[in-house]
Amino acid sequence: LVALAEAVLEVSMTVIRTAMRFAPLAVFGLMAETMSASGLKTLADLAIYCGIVLSGLGLLLALYILIAVVIGRINPVRFLRAVGPVQLLAFSTSSSAAVMPLTMKTAVDKLGTPATLAGAVVPLASTVNMAGTALYQSVAIIFLADMSGSPLAFGDLALIMVTLTGASIGAPAAPGASIAILSATAASFGIPLSGLALVLGVDRILDMARTSVNVTG
């Protein structure tokens, strides 16, 4: 049974490695097709989309620092110096789960959190506290709706944001996991996925930024 499981794992990893090698070419092809149909204006729209997401994440990060200062009664400079290595690792790995051990060590050693409290809160928060992911997905949904010429009413926007906030709570703490939630949510609200290729093209950069914010939270 062990040998069979190892053989299946090796086959699966070979398929995944092959897919990852071709993924950049596939995304490039999808973006080229979308741009040829929509024109160079698409690049400007994509830049605005990225700017809005990064600005929102910046405001969320500022809110987290404010909470640390007001409620945690910690100097913001000391806080940022303490969590800097965790943010950097989160930025490079795009995975809240991958940095969990360092997050717990930083909380205990540098921020003075009791080990029992850190052991209870950090694993839970790594899955539940995905505010950066919810923010990103909300902006992405609006971007996809605009790209397809299907503007959303205010009521639809509010419902989508509530839905994505709930969905982000159970999102896997792994790179690219939010794309699956985004696609499913857009399809359930009848939003065409014609602009998804553009979202995929810049997702890695935004994924690194939102993971850093999530881990800071």
pLDDT grade, residue 193 (50/70/90)?
confident
What confidence score (pLDDT) does residue 29 get? 81
CB-based contact 60:213 (threshold 8 Å):
yes
Q: Cβ contacts of residue 18 below 8 Å, gap of 6+?
A: none
In the predicted structure, residue 131 carries a pLDDT above the cut 80: yes
CB atoms within 10 A of CB 103: 24
Non-local CB neighbours of 167 within 8 Å, separated by 6+ positions = 134, 137, 181, 185
What confidence score (pLDDT) does residue 192 get? 82
Predicted pLDDT of residue 148: 80
- At residue 198, the pLDDT reads 79
What string of DSSP letters covers 30-68?
HHHHHHHHH-THHHHHHHHHHHHHHHHHHHHHHHHHHHH
Alpha helices in 110-130 (DSSP H): 115-128
Q: Determine the Cα–Cα distance for residues 194 and 148; give it in Å rounded to an integer.
A: 7
Give the pLDDT confidence score for residue 159 in this predicted structure: 87
Is the model's pLDDT at 142 over the cut of 90? Answer: no
- The pLDDT tens digits of the residues spanning 165-185 come to 887 776 666 666 677 778 888
pLDDT band at 111 (very low <50, low <70, confident <90, very high): very high
Q: Would you state the pLDDT for residue 172?
A: 65
* pLDDT value at residue 48: 92
Q: Give the pLDDT score at 178.
A: 75
The pLDDT assigned to 205 comes to 85
Q: pLDDT by residue (tens digit) across 26-63? A: 778 877 777 777 677 777 888 899 999 999 999 999 99
Q: What is the pLDDT of residues 85-103, one digit of tens each?
A: 999 999 988 888 889 999 9
Look at 80 and 23; give whichever has higher pLDDT: 80
pLDDT at 123 over 80: yes
pLDDT given for residue 60 in this prediction: 95
Mean pLDDT of the residues in the chain:
86
